[in-house]
Amino acid sequence: MMTDTVFTKPISKQFEFDAEVAAVFDDMLIRSVPFYKESQALTRRFALNALHSGGSVYDLGCSTASLLLEIERALDKREDIKLIGIDNSSAMIEHARKKIEAYGSRIELVEGDILTFPYTKAEVFVSNYTLQFIRPIVRDTLVRTISEALEEGGVFIFSEKVVCEDPKLSKELIDCYYDFKKEQGYSEYEIVQKREALENVLVPYTMNENIQMAKNSGFKTCDVLFRWANFATFIALK
């Protein structure tokens, strides 16, 4: 796994999931997302709970397919489950293909737009830090599309950065997060560079806005599986 040094040099563009980011993305996730492995373990557990024979799982913004590979391992050779990863970054899909070939995986990868993809009925949708990169004007529409594509009793599990409604607490949560990143070896310069690159690219909702979005989109309930400061994993039930 290559080490993330993307923001050790001056930025010349807004953040995008290009070849440079894709090459170090697994390291970037572990060092940039607090308790990433733990939240993913929860996602895997609740995804497996919802799956039945012949079911399907969609991972929206699958990046390098790490989560789908973890779900596949946990299926213990159950080949009747369909695993589909979708990402609009050709660089991410390329890295994902190398992984699934190395592991002899049967995951189906699609380079495509999650906003227009023709979904078939599924029992599980997952989305890890993907919705926050979708413009709010169409974010709700995507979540409604997911709800309509889910089987009754299906689940949508999604992780997002969240903002706090109180400005003072919001700043304290951000400071807490930046201290975490420093503990992971990122310099002050790298932290500032990435923050500037993500400006107006990553648009987070509050925790309540995420929950209300799911409920307004046809889910009967939505709750928080995990939260650390300004990072949260949600589960919405159809």
> How do strand 221-228 and strand 231-237 relate by DSSP bridges?
antiparallel
Q: For residue 52, is it within any domain?
A: yes
- Structure confidence at residue 111 (pLDDT): 95
Q: CATH number for the domain including 131?
A: 3.40.50.150
H-helix or E-strand spanning residue 73: helix 66-74
Question: Using CA atoms, how far apart are residues 74 and 12, in angstroms rounded to an integer?
Answer: 41
Residue at 216 is within a domain: yes
Q: Report the domain count for the chain.
A: 1
What backbone torsions phi and psi does residue 195 show, to the nearest 5 degrees?
A: -60, -45
Is the residue at 124 inside a domain?
yes
The pLDDT score that the predictor gives to residue 12 is 52
Task: Give the other-Cβ count within 10 Å of 54's Cβ.
Answer: 10
Percent of the chain with pLDDT over 70: 83
> Does a structural domain hold residue 137?
yes
Q: What is the pLDDT of residues 99-157, one digit of tens each?
A: 899 889 999 999 999 999 999 999 999 999 999 999 998 999 999 999 999 999 999 99
> Which structural domain range is residue 86 located in?
15-163+202-237
**Averaged over 23-47, what is the pLDDT?**
83
pLDDT at 70 over 70: yes
Q: What is the separation, in whole angstroms, between the first and last Cα of the chain?
A: 37
- Looking at residue 83, its pLDDT comes to 97
3-state secondary structure of 226: strand
Inside any domain, residue 6: no
Top mean pLDDT of 25-29, 32-36, 137-141, 175-179 is at 137-141
Does residue 51 lie in a domain region? yes
CA distances from 3 to 29, 46, 81, 91 (A): 11, 30, 33, 17
Asked if residue 100 is part of any domain, the answer here is yes
What's the maximum distance between 2 C-alpha atoms anywhere in the chain?
50
Q: Is residue 211 part of a domain?
A: yes
Query: What are the b/e assignments for 13-23, b being 16+ CB within 10 Å?
Result: eebebeeebbb
Q: Tell me whether strands 56-60 and 82-87 are parallel, antiparallel or unpaired.
A: parallel
Nearest to 31 by CA among 64, 60, 6: 6
- Coil, helix or strand at residue 143: helix
Contacts of 168 by beta carbon, 8 Å cutoff, 6+ apart? none
